[in-house]
Amino acid sequence: MLPLLAILFTLSSSLTFASACPGHLAARQAAANATSSPFTLGEDPPAPPANLGYTLNHFSLIANNLTAMTAFYRDVLGLREIFSYIASPDYTVVYLGFSHGGKNGTGYQTGEQLYAEKNNIEGLLELVHHSSTDDPDAPRFEPSTRVPNTFGHLGLIVPDIKAAERRFKKHGVKIVKPAGEEVQWDSLGARAFGFDELHSSVQKAREAIKGVGMIGFSTFVLIEDPDGNLLEVQQQEPVGAGGV
């Protein structure tokens, strides 16, 4: 199964306008042509010594509805609240994360334990809330499913994709694409992957993807959180595949 990002990168560099693209994209195209495969494994050398110890710690979302967003990530997806901080009457921060004593649920940790390890673990979620959005008539922060921007989606791994999909339905989660169905590239989910009416190159990429068929993508589930942010849910062991 080919990772989605690998397919998207390859498609974006294999279109007819590739000759005008930056050097790093041209290099990807040359590598793909040499191997006659759309998928190319990275060949970067070890990171510079100055970067040892660097890690991606958390991702931050601006929440329109902090209560609904916290409940979704905590009660539906299973993240635990590490702490909340009311910086001012108009600005609140909430940190959440999976227990890191093992796979989620196998090594429960309290909020105090998670907080003690906060800067030594990965995969945390920060929700930032401005009280101005509590007013139903006030402008809202638009998610990438409504307005394409540089944020695409959050990626979630689950042990059983079908069981996860049933859980999402039970909790009334909006399912953009069920497992086993192809994505519709004029849908809300498509915007979160940058496929919208932006310019002609996007239209070309959309046509290219139709030809490839998004190998493996049909097994994924796409859902939205209460604010409309997209989550891509994949099974831990891809259905019908043992690797790349």
- Average pLDDT of the chain, as a whole number: 77
Asked if residues 200 and 124 have their Cβ atoms less than 8 Å apart, the reply is no
The listed CATH number (3.40.50.170, 3.30.365.10, 3.30.720.110, 3.40.190.10) that belongs to domain 143-235? 3.30.720.110
In the structure, what pLDDT confidence band is assigned to residue 136 with cuts at 50, 70 and 90? Answer: confident
Residue 50's region, left for phi above 0, alpha for psi from -120 to 50, else beta, is: alpha
Answer whether 205's CB lies under 8 Å from 15's CB.
yes
Architecture of domain 55-134: Roll (3.10)
Write out pLDDT tens, residues 221-233: 999 999 999 999 9
**Residue where the block lists tokens 């638009």:** 142
CA atoms of 221 and 181, how far apart (whole Å): 9
Q: What is the pLDDT of residue 170?
A: 97
Residue limits of CATH 3.30.720.110 in the chain: 143-235
Contact assessment for residue 234 and residue 155, using Cβ atoms and an 8 Å cutoff? yes
Q: What angle do CA 13, 15, 19 make, to 5 degrees?
A: 70
Tokens of 141: 């922060």
Q: How far apart are CA 122 and CA 59, in angstroms?
A: 10
What does the alpha-carbon distance between residue 6 and residue 121 come to, in Å, rounded to a whole number?
A: 26
pLDDT digits (tens, 9 = 90+) for 142-171: 887 777 777 888 999 998 999 999 999 999
Residue 138: pLDDT over 90: no
Distance CA 79, CA 71 (A): 10
Element (DSSP H or E) covering residue 35: helix 23-35
Is the pLDDT at 54 greater than 60? The verdict is: yes
Quick: pLDDT tens for 63-97: 999 999 999 999 999 999 999 999 999 999 999 99
Let me know the angle formed at the C-alpha of 55 by 143 and 4, rounded to the nearest 5 degrees: 50
| Per-residue pLDDT at 1 | 43
Best CA proximity match to 142, nearest among 215, 56, 64, 34? 64
**Residues spanned by CATH 3.10.180.10 within the chain?**
55-134
Return d(Cα 142, Cα 229) in angstroms, integer. 9
pLDDT value at 61 more than 60: yes
User: Exposed/middle/buried for 84, CB within 10 Å: 0-12, 13-18, 19+?
Assistant: middle
